[in-house]
Chains A and B, each alone.
Chain A
Amino acid sequence: MAHLALSPWVAFAYLVAGVFFILALRGLSSPETSRKGNRYGMVGMAIAVITTLITHQIANIVEIGVAILIGALIGVTIARRIAMTAMPELVAAFHSLVGLAAVLVGWAAYLSPEAFGILDADGGINTVSKIEMALGIAIGAITFSGSVIAFAKLSGRMKGSPILLPARHVINLGTLAAIIVLTVLFAMAAPEATLPLIVALTVLAFVIGFLLIIPIGGADMPVVVSMLNSYSGWAAAAMGFTLHNTAMIITGALVGASGAILSYIMCRAMNRQFLAVIAGGFGAEASGPAREAREQRPYKQGSADDAAFMLKQADKVIVIPGYGMAVAQAQHALREMTDLLEEQGVEVKFAIHPVAGRMPGHMNVLLAEASVDYDKVFELEDINSEFAQCDVAFIIGANDVVNPAAKTDKSSPIYGMPVFDVDKARQVFFIKRSMGGVGYAGVDNDVFYMDQTMMLLADAKKMVEEINKALAD
């Protein structure tokens, strides 16, 4: 096989593609430059694909063209149709595809090493390439099955609550150890003996991905999605090592770092240790006696008219959206409310907690979809000091992120998590479907029972629409 990949120009082209990918991420440092960044990403990808196609002898360009076309059609159709609220499960589904593609590429390299130029002098695959290949397949398979479970949980096809197997830590660690042992055996085995090893490794890696994610509850999904994002990067990087391809290595490292940083940010925002999240089980105990023992405490309930009346009087309103807003699709009604209030001279700001929603930045996208200006949307640390000067804290579909127990109650499962200081606001409006449900963490919230709190018990979208009606009158 002609291995033009040795030519310095080809290596240079892949390097340029890698640089474009760096620029793509760099563009995301602000909304103004982000679209240019995305275009850089596309250019980088085009360079990588075209370089590959023109430097290899291609007998079956038609088949390849058809394969790309099928993929493109499916991809673009999904991208156009998907609702913004469904973004977390879409991202999980896309992660699973990267994982599976990595497994397939690893297998193709195993079945046809001559195509990739990774043969030894004695006719077997060289040892380093075998280790890289095994790692790529293992990480890819974990990414695939883990993402499939994450997708099933996020899209409601599977219950979000953790599924806890007995002795799961022993099973998981044993399986991981077995994968490492198989990698070593595979690297050292004679060419004829490798097939059962690589099959076993692939199967075990699929199994461990599944086992790792099923015990993780819905509250921790932002971390899981970020972590799988990271894995998909490491899988690509491992394949880049096998193929000696700089574009793949640079991209894999970028994506791996990106997912790892997002996981870290999410863990920090929940005051949870990464390992504790991975160990799973969070939120599972809450359904037990603790919830039944909850006493009935008095709270004030209000109507949309009451809320509208007081909102009109306010000078400054801070809205805190959470996953409930996404579920109710209330973002457009909320934007309308913002417009109506602004016409009356009320200042409205939005406060977003890093773990609001089911993935990093989820609320920001939904508000952007509803055409809320992004300069009215603030992060936790930038806005938290303003609650003392605000007239109304308007909580819609959020719960744990405003729970003062995180600051005061050491026994609370969310203790130490940074939360919004809504108790400092003069008035608190809390939109919630009913008093029965509690947040993901399964803990009661003192904000419900504060003197200045008015509970607005209804579907988030309906309630906001009624408030809008009252405001417009």
Chain B
Amino acid sequence: MDFIAILSIFVMACFVGYYVVWSVTPALHTPLMAVTNAISSVIIVGALIAAAEAGEGLAKWVGLGAVVLASVNIFGGFAVTERMLAMYKKKERK
């Protein structure tokens, strides 16, 4: 893909992000931060490529280190968001 194609995707995504985030209810701003945290760890894609294809050198270990960090975030981020959102269910009170 050439640079302009990628830049177009980026700019469009910024606008999508702008409108989607304004529609998030303020009551859910903390879960919003937790889940954005989890999804920004999609950076794991780069870490996996480095760990898998960089051969046996330093780059592989750097990549593996990044895989661990990103995994903490992905699993931790989604799990803590799930835990928070579960509390927002309307509960039947005794």
Interface, chain A (partner B; CB < 8 A): 1, 11, 14, 17-18, 21-22, 24-26, 28-31, 34-35, 37-38, 41-42, 44-45, 48-49, 52-53, 56-60, 63-64, 67-72, 74-76, 78-80, 82, 84, 87, 90-91, 94-95, 97-98, 100-102, 104-105, 107-109, 111-112, 114-116, 128, 225-226, 229, 232-233, 235-237, 239-259, 261-262, 265, 339, 352, 354, 359-362, 364-365, 368-369, 371, 373-375, 377, 379
CB-based nearest A residue for B24? A28
Interface centre among B60, B66, B86 (most CB of A within 10 A): B66
Question: Chain A interface secondary structure, helix, strand, loop or mixed?
Answer: helix
Min distance, Cβ A253 to any Cβ of chain B, angstroms: 3
Find out whether the CB atom of B21 lies under 8 angstroms from the CB atom of A38. Answer: no
Q: List 28 A-B contacts (CB under 8 A).
A: A21-B42, A28-B28, A31-B27, A34-B85, A45-B38, A45-B42, A52-B45, A56-B48, A58-B53, A64-B51, A91-B34, A97-B70, A98-B70, A101-B69, A104-B69, A112-B57, A116-B46, A233-B40, A235-B40, A241-B6, A248-B46, A250-B16, A253-B10, A258-B32, A261-B21, A262-B33, A359-B33, A365-B84
Chain A residues lying within 8 Å of B44, measured Cβ to Cβ, are 48-49, 52, 101
Min distance, Cβ A74 to any Cβ of chain B, angstroms: 5
Find out whether the CB atom of A374 lies under 8 angstroms from the CB atom of B90. Answer: yes
Find out whether the CB atom of B47 lies under 8 angstroms from the CB atom of A101. Answer: yes
Question: Chain B interface secondary structure, helix, strand, loop or mixed?
Answer: helix
Interface, chain B (partner A; CB < 8 A): 1, 3, 6, 9-11, 13-14, 16-18, 20-55, 57-60, 62-91, 93
Find out whether the CB atom of B20 lies under 8 angstroms from the CB atom of A22. Answer: yes
Given A105-B50, A108-B62, A75–B42 Cβ distance below 8 Å? no
Interface centre among B30, B46, B86, B90 (most CB of A within 10 A): B46
